[in-house]
A and B are shown apart, each in its own frame.
Chain A
Amino acid sequence: MGVLLQLDTVHTYYGQIHALKGMSITVNEGEVVTLIGSNGAGKSTTLRTISGLLRPRQGQVTFKGARIDKIPPHEIVKLGIAQSPEGRRIFPRLTVLENLEMGAYIHPSGTPEYRNDLERVFNLFPRLRERYKQKGGTLSGGEQQMLAIGRALMTRPSVLLLDEPSMGLAPVLVEQIFDIVKEINAQGTTVLLVEQNAHMALAIAHRGYVIQTGQIVLEDDARALSKNEMVQKAYLGIE
């Protein structure tokens, strides 16, 4: 179980705002790692930095041993890092199928591999198969989340970055989505999961990090984290 993705004292800014203040995390192959933290702690910024949407001013991001923090986002996807962004960000005026095709943009279409990917996504999310002709913008929130994850899977990633997949969803749907994330991991994809719903995230993760104001304040395996007093108080609502 080698190291797949690593952030080493990464500092990222939005203009003058210092958003990540020396983030260091490690994701090993085959793991589900979760980043938990409150609003504005820097969770999404971390994912955006990994994907190349933001450039770190200091520090390094390495993937499979090579530095990726100077590479543009469209090249990083090709290395095997896919992101399902915060707020889903599906293409509202493309159909479900076209959204998935965009996920597969970096691969030649019409190949058996492409059909396999599509079949895999449709098997994970049968709802998408039913609605493949519908415009993305007409889907419900849960379906849009499925589409965002499915679209990310179409890039054939070795690591999947999930940004708050539970946001705004009914509890039943949240459970469904998390079951699928577990399933995706079981099929061999490493997952880095960013969540406010710490309870659900720690239930499926192997390891977790707690992030506060752009820094890691706690790191442990998931079970230990969910028993940690500070985590229980701040993120699990247990007094």
Chain B
Amino acid sequence: MTAQGEAVSGSLGTRRSITTILGQIFGPLLQIFYFVIGSAVILGAIVIILALLLRGTRDDIDLLQGTLIILPQVIVDSLVRGFLYAMIALGYTMVYGVLEFINFAHGEIFMVGAFVSAGFGLVLANSGALETFNPFAFVVIAVLLGAAVSGTLAVSIERVAYRPMRNSPRLVLLISTIGMSLLLQDLVRIIATMTPLGFNARVQTPNLGSALTLAQIPLGERTINVIIDSRSLIFILASIVMLIFLNYLVNVTRMGKAIRAVAQDMPTASLMGINVNNIIALTFLIGGALGGAAGVLFGIRVQAINPYVGFLPGVKAFTAAVLGGIGNITGAMVGGIVLGFLEAFVASYLSLFTAGQFAGANYADIAAFSILIIILIFKPEGLLGEATTQKV
């Protein structure tokens, strides 16, 4: 018993085992993976069953065939939306976890990231280097640049607009975040319209390669092409890399543990020698950097942005954070994925099943916000949220 105990503290004191660290990094990602598979299977099954039930209601096309043909594309779209919301939701959830208010300016932090990608593309295009620029290097540099700009911006906003009000009622802070959000929108609008970027900015990129055909599945006289376009692939891969990095930072490093300690009990964390203000700034830096990186990837994917692109993804990412359990980092990622899947499926299949009566894309927003309402009514702690109890 004692010998075993000694062994425990011996190994703990030096380096903890590689498997523990890997578990801490990849555990949350595994959870995301389960939710990806789960959402895809469940929603896929639902649309197939619906297609079977509704078969024959339309004479022009075979519903089942139509459903199956677009399914791979819908899943790719779901993943892109899912990771987009996951990355933005992290910013909301981290700030909420530490300070217990919703930073509504976070959508604009994301938008600024998108404008950084547009600016970077423009600068390269003007210098004539864009066409020959290495696409991989372009994405990496743009993401790092966007993360740096948005991260710095988020930290400055906290310093200027939130910290002085930290001890005021939460409502005051909330209003301050909304004010910041409007301010940033218009600041970016002014800057964009004064520069060659313009209000509707184009995100120019080098040739990022063509679409990748992953598989071709024969289906009767037609085939299902499983295609992923390069920009979506970049989005998904880059998001995964960043989520791995975030999990390492929060779960393994001392700094990450300090963030969690501050989130759980601020005064006690300061008794441990943790500088609470620095940790709060750090949360804004990480959340802002992730939001900015997501903005860059978003810009690269959609290629046309304006100063108001941050609002809707921001509010939806907030929904995702609530869906996963606000304050819970893994929850934010999972919530983003689930929301992305639901939205993409509604957007793609609603018009197919209703013969175009409900043109889907707009109804996707309704689906997203209905989820917010349902979650708030029936499970306010979210999918992964835990009711915390502290023994006295």
Closest CB pairs A-B (n = 3): A115-B13, A106-B273, A77-B273
A110 at the interface (CB under 8 A from B): yes
Binary interface profile of A, 112-156, with partner B (CB < 8 Å = 1, else 0)?
Answer: 001100110010001001101000010111001000000100010
What are 26 A-to-B residue pairs whose CB atoms are below 8 Å? A52-B270, A53-B271, A72-B275, A73-B267, A73-B271, A74-B270, A74-B274, A74-B276, A82-B271, A85-B268, A89-B265, A89-B268, A91-B261, A92-B388, A98-B257, A102-B257, A103-B272, A105-B272, A110-B14, A115-B13, A115-B14, A118-B12, A119-B9, A137-B389, A137-B390, A140-B391
Return the CB mask of A43-83 against B: 1 if under 8 Å, else 0.
00000000111000000000000000000111101100011
Are A119 and B13 neighbours in the complex by a CB distance under 8 Å? yes
Task: With A94-B264, A102-B257, A118-B12 given, name 16 new contacts (CB 8 A).
Answer: A53-B271, A72-B275, A74-B273, A75-B273, A82-B271, A87-B392, A89-B268, A91-B264, A94-B257, A98-B260, A102-B272, A115-B10, A118-B9, A122-B5, A137-B388, A155-B273
Name the CB-closest residue of A to B278. Answer: A74
Q: Which of A72, A85, A94, A129: most chain B Cβ within 10 A?
A: A129
CA distance A88 to B272 in the complex (A): 13
Q: Which residue of B lies closest to A112 (CB)?
A: B13
Please give, as numbers and ranges, the residues of chain B lying within 8 Å of A167 by CB-CB distance.
Answer: 392
Q: Is B15 an interface residue (CB 8 A)?
A: yes
Question: How far, in whole Å, are A151 and B13 apart by their CA atoms in the complex?
Answer: 15
Which of A77, A105, A119, A167 has the most chain B CB within a 10 Å cutoff? A105
Task: Kindly supply a per-residue 1/0 record for chain B positions 277-308, scoring 1 wherever the CB is within 8 Å of any chain A CB and 0 otherwise.
Answer: 00000000000000000000000000000000
Chain B residue numbers with a CB within 8 Å of A114 are: 13
Chain B positions within 8 Å of A151 at CB level: 272
A228 at the interface (CB under 8 A from B): no
Decide yes or no whether A168 CB sits under 8 A from chain B.
yes
Which residues of chain B are within 8 angstroms of A92 by Cβ–Cβ distance? Answer: 264, 388-390
B264 touches A129 (CB 8 A): no
How many Å from the CB of B248 to the closest CB on chain A?
15
**Cα distance A72–B267 when bound, in Å?**
11
CA distance A137 to B273 in the complex (A): 21
Complex Cα gap A74–B269 (Å): 8
What residues of A have a CB within 8 angstroms of the CB of B392 in the complex?
87, 141, 167-168
Tell me, yes or no, whether A109 is within 8 Å of chain B by CB: yes
Nearest CB of chain A from residue B256's CB, rounded to whole Å? 10
Q: Which residue of B lies closest to A52 (CB)?
A: B270
Interface size counted on chain A using CB atoms at 8 A: 46
A168-198 contact mask (Cβ, 8 Å, vs B): 1 or 0: 1000000000000000000000000000000
Closest to B386 in A: A93
Which residues of chain B are near A83, meaning CB under 8 Å?
A: 271
Shortest distance from the beta carbon of A143 to any chain B beta carbon, whole Å: 9
Residues of B within 8 A of A139 (CB): 391
B222 at the interface (CB under 8 A from A): no
With the chains together, A183 CA to B390 CA distance in Å? 28
- Name A167's closest neighbour in chain B (CB-CB): B392
Q: How far is the CA of A94 from the CA of B254 in the complex (A)?
A: 12
Which residues of A sit under 8 angstroms from B217, Cβ to Cβ?
Answer: none
Known pairs A101-B254, A137-B389, A141-B391; A78 contacts B273 (CB<8 A): yes
B61 contacts the other chain (CB 8 A): no
Residues of B within 8 A of A (CB): 5, 8-10, 12-15, 254, 257-258, 260-261, 264-265, 267-276, 386, 388-392
Chain A contact residues, CB within 8 Å of chain B: 51-53, 72-75, 77-78, 82-83, 85, 87-89, 91-94, 97-98, 101-103, 105-106, 109-110, 114-115, 118-119, 122, 126, 129-130, 132, 137, 139-141, 144, 151, 155, 167-168
A91 contacts which chain B residues (CB < 8 A)? 260-261, 264-265, 268-269
List the B residue with the shortest CB-CB distance to A141: B391
The CA of A140 and the CA of B391, in the complex, are separated in Å by 8
- In the bound assembly, the distance between CA atoms of A129 and B264 in angstroms comes to 23
Also in contact, A109 and B273, with CB within 8 A (given A94-B261, A137-B389): no
Provided the pairs A89-B268, A102-B261, A155-B273 are in contact, do residues A118 and B389 lie with their beta carbons within 8 angstroms?
Answer: no
Which residue of A83, A91, A110 has the most chain B CB atoms within 10 A of its CB atom? A91
Q: Which residues of B contact A73 (CB under 8 A)?
A: 267, 270-271
CB atoms of B258 and A118 under 8 A apart: no
Closest to B12 in A: A97
CA distance A129 to B12 in the complex (A): 11
Q: Chain A residues with Cβ under 8 A from B276's Cβ?
A: 74
Task: Specify which chain A residues have a CB less than 8 angstroms from the CB of B272 in the assembled complex.
Answer: 74, 77, 102-103, 105-106, 151, 155
Q: Say whether B388 contacts A85, CB under 8 Å.
A: no
Chain A residues whose CB sits within 8 angstroms of the CB of B275 once the complex forms: 72, 74
Closest to A51 in B: B271
A93 and B267 CA atoms in complex are apart in Å by 16
Q: Is B260 a contact partner of A94 (Cβ separation < 8 A)?
A: yes
Q: Which residue of A lies closest to B392 (CB)?
A: A87
* B13: A residues at CB distance < 8 A: 110, 114-115, 118-119
Q: Are A102 and B14 in contact (CB under 8 A)?
A: no
A93 to B276, CA, bound (A): 18
Considering the complex, give the chain B residue whose CB is closest to the CB of A93: B264
